[in-house]
Copies of this chain bind each other. A is one copy, B any other.
Amino acid sequence: MGTSKAHIKAPPGFKEKLEILHDYLTAHGLRNTHQREVILAELLSFGQHVTTEELWDRVKAIDSSIGYATVYRTLRLFTECGIASKHDFGGGSARFESDSGHHHDHMICTQCGKIIEFENEEIERLQDEVAASHQFKINSHRMELYGLCSECHD
């Protein structure tokens, strides 16, 4: 009988990310599995910053046999191969998002939890400048603005 595994509906960007994943797996002697594809698909279709547990809930709806540890380990794998990144916005749990390629920062509404993404080249430039003035070599940075979104004030 064919692989009667749960069907994976491909969300936008799935194909590209899957290719990156496959390349990474091959290059490192790792294996592709059904679980990894399901988790990737759900991460992409979630479309928001998601915690390991939230993602696990969605993944279980597709394949109830997938365990929490697999989601946890797979998210770390995704982070390592550059198709997702991990953030800590406070509130106990780490949150993951699929990488869109271009860097961006976040505004977090402390009232409703909404997360707005933005990018600002001028700020990035100034960061580089500040770092350079301290002979500091930036590898990564985080910048988060906490406050109230337009719907939560006035």
Give the distance in Å from the alpha carbon of A107 to the alpha carbon of B131 in the complex. Answer: 8
Residues on A lying within 8 angstroms of B by beta carbon are 88, 90, 107, 109-110, 116, 118, 120, 122-123, 126-127, 130-131, 134-150, 153
Contact among B135, B138, B145 with A127 in the assembled complex (CB-CB below 8 Å): B145
Number of copies: 2
Q: A145, B138: Cβ atoms under 8 Å?
A: yes
Q: B148, A139: Cβ atoms under 8 Å?
A: yes
Closest 5 CB pairs of A and B: A135-B150, A139-B147, A138-B147, A143-B143, A137-B148
Give the distance in Å from the alpha carbon of A146 to the alpha carbon of B137 in the complex. Answer: 8
CB nearest to A114 among chain B residues: B136
